[in-house]
Structure 1
């Protein structure tokens, strides 16, 4: 259907000179947000999973609400990182690779060294154990692959 009122030659809408695609800045901002939120989500997921393990050990004396809240908060953070793919697919892909796929693969290749590597992190002893157990279950690899998939889906959707 032809335009009812065609624009004059050389005409641009007001404010067009201030509009930019911002590709590099979007990618940098998305990568930074993804790289910051993902390890926070991992920490909450690992602590929540360690807390749920206490449910079977301590029964009613364990903190069920706290660990449930940590797991839900981690899921929310991972959802934000996955939704970040709509803004910057590269940020979601980078976060998934750095904090999920690579640690998961490294653990499968060098399982004896990962506990030592996690021991070098400046966190409490309980957090070291929680992170190692979360890594041992394979969830970082699963979360990483899902984040990479979300970023790839957003990339293919744009084309």
Structure 2
């Protein structure tokens, strides 16, 4: 249907120069959220995995409920970061690269150095062991690749 009154060439509505799509603030907020939530999920997953290892050692005396809850909370946090791709794909991609892919690759190339670096973190000895063993299994790399994939899928879906 043709317009009754076509706009003159080069005309824009008043205030159009101040209108933005909000992509920059959305990207920054999404990236910061992903960078903050992902390490909490990693810590919970590592701690829960260390707790499940005690099941085989201590049997019925192990804290099965606590470790299971930690693993479920970690999975929920990773789900939140993956779902964050619907809001800001860059946030999910950056979180996956920073907290998963890069540490995983660095560990495979320099395993002794990653053990030393984890030991330098201001954490308890139990948490040092839990983080190193979780890194040693390759799960940060797997989780990182999945988060990068979720962000990439959201990016391609938008186009």
TM-score, shorter chain, exceeding 0.5: yes
The number of residues matched between the two structures is: 154
Could you tell me how far apart the structure 1 residues matched to 2:52 and 2:96 are?
25
The structure-2 alpha-carbon separation of the partners of 1:8 and 1:91, relative to structure 1 and needing over 3 Å to count, comes to farther
TM superposition shift of 1:110: 0.3
- 1:37-76 correspondence runs (5 A): 37-76=37-76
Provide TM-score, normalisation by structure 2.
0.90
Which structure 1 residue ranges, 4+ long, deviate > 4 Å from structure 2?
Answer: 6-10, 16-19
- 1:1-159 correspondence runs (5 A): 9=6, 20-159=20-159
SS at match of 1:140: helix
TM superposition shift of 1:123: 0.8
The structure-2 alpha-carbon separation of the partners of 1:7 and 1:34, relative to structure 1 and needing over 3 Å to count, comes to farther
The structure-2 alpha-carbon separation of the partners of 1:18 and 1:137, relative to structure 1 and needing over 3 Å to count, comes to same
Could you tell me how far apart the structure 2 residues matched to 1:100 and 1:148 are?
9
TM superposition shift of 1:145: 0.1
TM superposition shift of 1:19: 6.0
SS at match of 1:60: helix
Provide TM-score, normalisation by structure 1.
0.90
Could you tell me how far apart the structure 1 residues matched to 2:72 and 2:137 are?
18
Could you tell me how far apart the structure 2 residues matched to 1:19 and 1:144 are?
35
TM superposition shift of 1:21: 1.1
1:13 match: none
The structure-2 alpha-carbon separation of the partners of 1:133 and 1:8, relative to structure 1 and needing over 3 Å to count, comes to farther
Deviations 1:72-128, CA, capped at 9 Å, x for gaps: 000000000000000000000000000000000000000111110001111100000
Could you tell me how far apart the structure 2 residues matched to 1:101 and 1:141 are?
5
SS at match of 2:121: coil
Q: 5+ unaligned residues in a row in structure 1: which ranges?
A: 11-15
The structure-2 alpha-carbon separation of the partners of 1:62 and 1:149, relative to structure 1 and needing over 3 Å to count, comes to same
- Structure 1 vs Structure 2 CA RMSD: 2.1
